[in-house]
Amino acid sequence: MLVTSFIEETFGMIASVTTVIGIIPQVYKSYKLKSMEEVSMVMLVNYAICSVSWLVYGLYTKSSFIIGSNAICTITSALSIWQKASYKK
């Protein structure tokens, strides 16, 4: 039981951190360049849907790792979609 909890917490933390850092560099780069031409809107919407779905799942299962990382990813997804729409020329 203790080993299972350790494995769950360790991989939950790794998944949370890597999920969060997955989109933040793109948000920052887009902000600096004021351009999202190279980024697909379909990919951004898909990422947002995925993040919201995982967030709902996390809330349902009461998983703090899933809730935390996907709350941040939902916000950054929305920000990316806003950037894509705002930076159009």
What is the chain written as a DSSP string? -HHHHHHHHHHHHHHHHHHHHHHHHHHHHHHHHT--TTS-HHHHHHHHHHHHHHHHHHHHHT-HHHHHHHHHHHHHHHHHHHHHHHS--
> Mind listing the pLDDT tens digit for each residue in 30-57?
889 889 888 899 999 999 999 999 999 9
Whole-structure pTM value: 0.80
Tell me the pLDDT tens digit for each residue of 48-84: 999 999 999 989 988 888 898 899 999 999 999 999 9
Domains by residue range for the chain, with CATH: 2-86 (1.20.1280.290)
